Amino acid sequence: MEATQTRADDVRWKLDDLYESESAMRDDLGAAQREAEQLSETYRGRVADLSAAQLAEALDELEAVQDRAGRAYTFAYLRWSTDTNDPERGALLQHVKEAYTQIEQQLIFFETEWAEAPEEHAEKLIESDELAGYEHFLEVERLKKDYLLTEPEEKILSEKNVTGRSAWNRYFDETMGAARFELNGDELTRQEILKKLYEPDRDLRRRAALAFTDGLEDHERTLMFVFNTTLADKASDDRLRGYGRYDLVARFYDLKRRLLGLDDLKDYDRYAPLSDADTRYEWDDARGIVLDAYGDFHPQMAEVAGRFFDDGWIDAPLAPGKRGGAFSHGAVPSAHPYVLLNYTGKPRDVRTLAHELGHGVHQFLAREQGVLQASTPLTTAETASVFGEMLVFQRLLRREDDPQNRLAMLVSKIDDTMATVFRQTALNRFENKIHTARREEGELTSERFAEAWMETQRAMFAGSVTLEDHYRRWWSYIPHFLHTPGYVYAYAFGELLVLALYTEYERTGDGFSERYLDLLAAGGSDWPRALVGRFGLDLTDADFWQQGLDAIEELIDDAEKLAEKTATPI
């Protein structure tokens, strides 16, 4: 592990808000199992015949069980996330997953019976005053009707998931968490080696890329098998259920190549900074920047975000065995979200902090919707996080007077936007190719994965970036492909949505922030189109999405103009 001086070493989350001890968690999990059994005994075979008042009571009880079980899972998962190498933490997580599956199996009847309720009766219930707080949940569950199996079959799928895809996901996480990549005699984690791609020293970036590839090669057979198994598992589920503008990329990377003074922009040059300045933000500085930006937008946003710092809801430092990347775990409505980071003090880490706190604020405000409607769909899951990043970026940009520094900030922001919109679109196309190939061709070789990877990556860059041979293996470290197949499009959706919303914010000003917080508090209680419609915007209108693309083009325009103004060689 590399040492970092960010004053974040003591920023560890406090899980006492969930449970004071592991034994307390185990007791609560046992209570959830008993409550699930009682719920099954009371309502099995009756769901389609319940009155509105009876169904509301049943849903209240269902939420209570899911909240209790979810709290136990959150405790075990967060403990494991900070040290994936600890076998005791891994064993506890597996125990909770298995118990959680048993609870799910007890409750599957509710989903299948509600889906089979007569249409006319179901519509009357959904429209009743007694069920107003569950209306959207009930609507969504009805839409699953054509893809649900019988209750015994659903139980089989639920049970096999513990030793199926879920188990392989954990194996992948622990494999990558334990993996080390040798550079200059140091053994670096995945998180540490990838951060070297943002260094100003080109030779260091090149050597880091090669070292990362060497490390991936050491695990190639394992990762290939995990990917093949997960793809086959997803194909099995889908078969049983019956589920049936790149020019901006080339323009930007051509600009960046010229700004860096390179004849050829390599894959490991994409995130290179424009200057050698090693700007670092200590933890308290990052906290102030984010909270000030949030507070300028709306005091409540800063107030909620401030609790993450004050009440021990963040785990920030690098640590051996710690899960890579960053996330905000929404936990359950009776508790509160937690944020995990691997903070090194770089400017991008400040934006990551803003991103995850955006998720956290969203999850915190949506708690009032209850377990069944607090979670947002994939399409709006990234809305608050990307908006939070944008608030911080715009605040820092306004404070910066030096044109060279402004240019560096703009290019760094566009780097992130390219990764969020266009890279995620390319990743989605890669996923489509490998899932289709796995179903049509059988188990895929490493070379087959590499072919699909390079084809979709080259299509995105359109010749503006040279992808060297080592890059062929870089599909194998991306966890989203395994944890949530098909998820990555949500990043592109969220970024374009936020860019369009931010344009609306700049245009309208007064009243926007109140409506925006109302959108966050709504969680998953309404359709995305209806939530965004509160701003007078239409998700089905192509012009709305064009606003997001126009905003990206405007950032590139600004960078090109600043490059000319500062006489930066292009």
**Tokens 């003090």, located at residue:** 345
Residues 30 and 129 both lie in one domain: yes
Report pLDDT digits (tens) over 196-255: 988 888 999 999 989 888 877 776 766 665 555 655 555 444 443 333 366 888 899 999
Q: Return the closest-CA partner of residue 456 out of 431, 421, 491, 484.
A: 431
Residue where a domain stops, chosen among 359, 378, 395: 359
539: in domain: no
Give the domain extent around 349.
1-163+281-359
Residues 216 and 287 in one domain: no
Q: Answer yes or no: are the C-beta atoms of 116 and 48 closer than 8 Å.
A: yes
Same domain? For 341 and 469 the reply is no
Asked whether residue 324 is assigned to any structural domain, the reply reads yes
Please indicate, yes or no, if residue 552 is contained in any of the structural domains: no
Q: For position 151, what pLDDT does the model report?
A: 55
Domain stops at, among 483, 517, 547: 483
Give the C-alpha separation, 414 to 409, whole Å. 9
Give a yes or no: residue 198 inside a domain.
yes
pLDDT for 163 equals 46
Domain count of the fold of the chain:
2
Judge if 6 and 142 occupy the same domain.
Answer: yes
How far does CA 141 lie from the centroid of its chain? 23
For residues 287 and 149, state if they share a domain: yes
User: 187 - beta bridge partners?
Assistant: 182
Structure confidence at residue 242 (pLDDT): 38
Whole-model pTM: value is 0.76
Kindly state whether residue 247 falls inside one of the protein's structural domains.
yes
E strand segments, 326-413: 327-329, 338-343
Cα(312)–Cα(338) distance, integer angstroms: 9
Find the helix or strand (DSSP H, E) in which 249 lies. Answer: helix 247-259
* Same domain as 416, residue 310: no
One domain, residues 48 and 120:
yes
The span from the CA of 530 to the CA of 256, in Å, is: 39
- 383, 393 Cβ separation under 8 angstroms: no
- Is 367 inside any structural domain? no
Verify that 153 and 35 share a domain, yes or no: yes
Q: Are residue 7 and residue 128 in the same domain, yes or no?
A: yes
Question: In Å, how far are 87, 162, 163, 333, 394 from 167, measured between CA atoms?
Answer: 14, 6, 5, 26, 42
Report pLDDT for 240. Answer: 35
pLDDT tens per residue across span 145-167: 654 455 555 455 455 454 455 56
CATH code, domain carrying 326? 1.20.140.70
Helix axes 220-241, 424-441, angle to 10 degrees: 80
The segments of the chain whose pLDDT lies below 50 read 3, 147-148, 154, 157, 160, 162-163, 235-244
Same domain? 16 vs 135: yes
Same domain, 337 and 264: no
CA dist 456 and 459 (Å) reads 5
Domain assignment of residue 548, yes or no: no
- Residue 287, domain member (yes or no): yes
Residue after which a domain boundary falls, among 295, 325, 359: 359
DSSP string over 9-71: TT----GGGT-SSHHHHHHHHHHHHHHHHHHHHHHTTTGGG--HHHHHHHHHHHHHHHHHHHH
Together in a domain, 90 and 142: yes
Whole-angstrom distance, CA of residue 46 vs CA of residue 109: 10
Long-range contacts formed by 105-108: CB under 8 A, 24+ apart? 105/155, 105/158, 105/159, 106/33, 106/36, 106/37, 106/39, 106/40, 107/36, 107/39, 107/40, 107/62, 107/65, 107/66, 108/151, 108/154, 108/155, 108/158
